[in-house]
Amino acid sequence: MLNRIIICCLLISFKTLADDGSRLWLKYDLLKDAQQRDKYAALTKFIAANHNSPIVASAVSELQMGFQGLLGKKVSASASAGSRTGGVILQVNANAQNLLEDGFAINSQKGNIVISAKTPSGVLYGAFELLRNIQTGKSLSNLAIVSNPKVKIRMLNHWDNANGTVERGYAGSSMWKWTELPFRIDPRYIQYARANASIGINAASINNVNASSRFLTAEYLEKIKAVADVLRPYGIRVFISVNFRSPRTLGGLKTSDPLDPEVKQWWNDKTKEIHQYIPDFGGFLVKANSEGEPGPQDYGRTHADGANMLAEAMRPYGGIVIWRAFVYKADPNGDRFKEAYDQFKPLDGTFDPKVIVQVKNGPIDFMPREPFHPMFGAFPNTTLGMEFQITQEYLGQSTHLTYLAPMFKECLDSDTYAKGKGSTVAKVIDGSLESHQNSLMAGVANTGSDVNWTAHPFNQANWYAFGRLAWDYDLTSEHIASEWIAMTLAKSKAGQETIKRMMMQSLPIYISYTYPLGTAHMMGEGHHYGPEPWLEKSGRPDWTSIYYHRADSVGLGFDRTGKVSNALSLYSAEVQKQWGDPERCSLDYLLWFHHIPWTKKLSTGRTLWNELCFRYYDGVEQVRKLQTDWESLKPELDKETFENVKGRLRIQEKEALWWRDACVLYFITYTKMPIPAPLVPPTRSLNEVKKLVEIYHLR
């Protein structure tokens, strides 16, 4: 018998030796330390849940799965603890103190661990918190945790197309298998729901904002209902991105004018129909009059007209309307920086309370570093939601290690000074600054059909970090990284520290070899892969590179002071002061706001040109250090994961060199100055580098 068991062990472990990443941060591998297991086991002898909802059932089954995996024991569940001690009690209590909706408390109480919450979702989040404590090796004695989400709608936006592709997706095709639905439920939907619930995400818009009308047909509503039914027990509500022209496309109407009675009726009817499939439907997400999408302006109406019409259709229900502020017109003499602000400012105060205007973190488009969007703090009478991009469109896609928590935090922590010091973007977003009821933080998802969900193993951390920050933006990037690392990659303290250091350095490194000193938007046209700072012509002037960097023989950077675009004036006086003076402006933001002479000496003691070169070169060197760091971790890492990241770091090095050489060789055509010693000039020519990006323009 023992023999057979050993054989069975050998064989099975033989198959599972490699970690394919499919389990994300919910690995639940047996804790190696038997003493530690025993300690936890003594506190998790049973599960008692006083509530009978599907969401609480998810919490119970997750705890059972977690205890089974981490502690190696089956734990039974019942409705009541009775007089037992040493167990985990789940309590839904509508009158729980100090808790908001979705919040939870975990307390050591009379020999048991009690997870209490006002709602089943709160209990579920508490269960995941308890598991995370075990996964990360924390003590379960004397627990007294209270945790409330800072933002109410914590949401993923999937830019997944009906045809199975994913716009700006770098991890395979769409995870939603529309042709299989509603009858085949891919088990990955459940994994996805669990992963989201574990970090507090409670909403998902399942299709691209460049939206196909087909998602509003009965055929597709049946499919979406099947998805909603899978996500509901994990507390996740489904949203649909809608095409504003749907009344014409699907309804056969002559117009989609939001003030037209038939159009209103069509949306009323459609919204009612949706609720027959999905009673707890989250709402609509709309990209309108943006990059060619239809919208109310096609009929001489405003964004508010469009959004409010949809809000009216949603009136009888709990859902909302999320209206994107990502709009800009193609004006070669304008400044895209100001477009959304200018278009929406007159509408402040005119949006229905059911409308949230979703604003990207920065005024351009998810650049690796942008100043916070000037709309934040300037729209007191509008509920503004945040749109971050988790998928790394401009941040290395699937091959660069770039941990995004510091980028999210940099924006959230920015002070708008709208109501004096401390009026951070985070406080705009959570509704506290201007006392809005709703609040929203959305992240454009990086999930795909790849086995490990996100292609680069480290990209999983960005999904994780987004969720954790949407729950609590006061968590530090380091803290979130530590959690994620302990649950995924390394068990040794030293290993965890090395990986955390790599992650914390990764964004500055990436920016250094791509967009140092506040440069932006110099990537390959269309696919946004690799550098193309020389791009002069495109479908629109504001899709070129030269529109943004404004390089000339004198210097570099987009003057957004009063002398030129005056975009700075959109910010409060304090912010203008902070960025308006090139002598005081942080180098991180310098060229966002100023056109600086190449020869100007910066606070580093180097001229702009020398500093630029230094940063590009240093970025490449830092990637090499990341490789050395990673190599040092080989003994303790899963082999497949180690090789996976190792290979990607080599690609990252190659591409960092590509960015460096492309940018310095291009800008040198303006500066006519040498690459400063001791830096060694690139061995290839500008023309050679230019050919590289052309390859990716070939069909």
Name the residues that contact a copy of itself, by CB under 8 A: 2, 5-16, 18, 22, 29-30, 68-69, 72-73, 162-165, 170, 172-173, 177, 179-180, 183-185, 187, 212-214, 217, 219-220, 249, 397-399, 448-451, 455, 527, 529, 640, 643-644, 646-648, 650-651, 654, 692, 695-696, 698-699
Is residue 346 within 8 A of residue 567, CB to CB? The reply is no
C-alpha neighbours within 13 Å on the C-beta side of residue 201: 25
Cα 371 to Cα 464: distance, rounded to the nearest angstrom = 24
**What are the two backbone dihedrals, phi and then psi, of residue 626, each rounded to the nearest 5 degrees?**
-60, -40
Tokens representing 394? 């401009």
Q: Which helix (H) or strand (E) holds 194?
A: helix 187-198
How many other C-beta atoms lie within 10 A of the C-beta of residue 316? 11
Q: How far apart are the first and last CA of the chain?
A: 60
Nearer to a copy of itself among residue 72 and residue 349 (C-beta): 72
Cα 626 to Cα 437: distance, rounded to the nearest angstrom = 44
Omega of the bond prior to 182 within 30 degrees of 0, cis? Answer: yes
Torsion angle, alpha carbons of 213, 219, 220, 224, to 10: 150
SS3 197: helix
Cα 114 to Cα 106: distance, rounded to the nearest angstrom = 6
The answer to whether 393 is a known catalytic residue is yes
In sequence order, what are the beta bridge partners of 457? none
Nearer to a copy of itself among residue 31 and residue 480 (C-beta): 31
Burial of 588 (0-12, 13-18, 19+ CB in 10 A): middle
How many other C-beta atoms lie within 10 A of the C-beta of residue 133? 18
SS3 190: helix
Q: Which one of 62, 160, 339, 393 is the catalytic residue?
A: 393
Tell me the closest approach of the beta carbon of residue 699 to a copy of itself, in angstroms.
5
Tell me the closest approach of the beta carbon of residue 7 to a copy of itself, in angstroms.
4
Tell me the closest approach of the beta carbon of residue 13 to a copy of itself, in angstroms.
6
Q: What is the DSSP secondary structure assignment for residue 241, as one 8-state letter? A: E
Tell me the closest approach of the beta carbon of residue 348 to a copy of itself, in angstroms.
33
Tell me the closest approach of the beta carbon of residue 57 to a copy of itself, in angstroms.
19
Nearer to a copy of itself among residue 22 and residue 78 (C-beta): 22
Nearer to a copy of itself among residue 519 and residue 652 (C-beta): 652
Nearer to a copy of itself among residue 17 and residue 573 (C-beta): 17
The answer to whether 291 is a known catalytic residue is yes
Nearest to residue 517, comparing CAs of 595, 622, 628?
Answer: 595
Tell me the closest approach of the beta carbon of residue 633 to a copy of itself, in angstroms.
17
Indicate the pairing of strand 440-444 with strand 596-597: unpaired
Burial of 368 (0-12, 13-18, 19+ CB in 10 A): buried
Nearest to residue 441, comparing CAs of 431, 433, 451, 449?
Answer: 431
Nearer to a copy of itself among residue 382 and residue 399 (C-beta): 399
SS3 per residue for 540-584: CHHHCCHHHHCCCCCEECCCCCCCCCCHHHHCCHHHHHHHHCCCC
Q: Which one of 167, 186, 260, 291 is the catalytic residue?
A: 291
Tell me the closest approach of the beta carbon of residue 311 to a copy of itself, in angstroms.
25
Q: Which one of 19, 129, 365, 532 is the catalytic residue?
A: 365
Is residue 288 within 8 A of residue 306, CB to CB? The reply is yes
Tell me the closest approach of the beta carbon of residue 48 to a copy of itself, in angstroms.
23
Tell me the closest approach of the beta carbon of residue 142 to a copy of itself, in angstroms.
29
Nearer to a copy of itself among residue 85 and residue 627 (C-beta): 627
Question: How many residues are there in the chain?
Answer: 699
What DSSP string describes 310-368?
Answer: HHHHHTTSS-EEEEE-------TTS-HHHHHHHHHGGGTT-S-TTEEEEEESSSSS--S
Nearer to a copy of itself among residue 523 and residue 570 (C-beta): 523
Nearer to a copy of itself among residue 194 and residue 360 (C-beta): 194
Q: Is 23 left (phi over 0), alpha (psi -120 to 50) or beta?
A: alpha
User: Tokens 């090139």, residue?
Assistant: 582
Tell me the closest approach of the beta carbon of residue 402 to a copy of itself, in angstroms.
15
Tell me the closest approach of the beta carbon of residue 315 to a copy of itself, in angstroms.
28
Cα 537 to Cα 330: distance, rounded to the nearest angstrom = 13
Nearer to a copy of itself among residue 163 and residue 669 (C-beta): 163
Q: Is 157 left (phi over 0), alpha (psi -120 to 50) or beta?
A: beta
Burial of 12 (0-12, 13-18, 19+ CB in 10 A): exposed
Indicate the pairing of strand 88-92 with strand 112-117: parallel
Tell me the closest approach of the beta carbon of residue 625 to a copy of itself, in angstroms.
17
Nearer to a copy of itself among residue 222 and residue 581 (C-beta): 222
Cα-to-chain-centroid distance, residue 496: 23
Tell me the closest approach of the beta carbon of residue 131 to a copy of itself, in angstroms.
15
Nearer to a copy of itself among residue 397 and residue 514 (C-beta): 397
Q: Which helix (H) or strand (E) holds 48?
A: strand 47-49
Q: What is the DSSP secondary structure assignment for residue 418, as one 8-state letter? A: B
Nearer to a copy of itself among residue 120 and residue 448 (C-beta): 448
> Annotated catalytic sites, by residue?
291, 365, 393
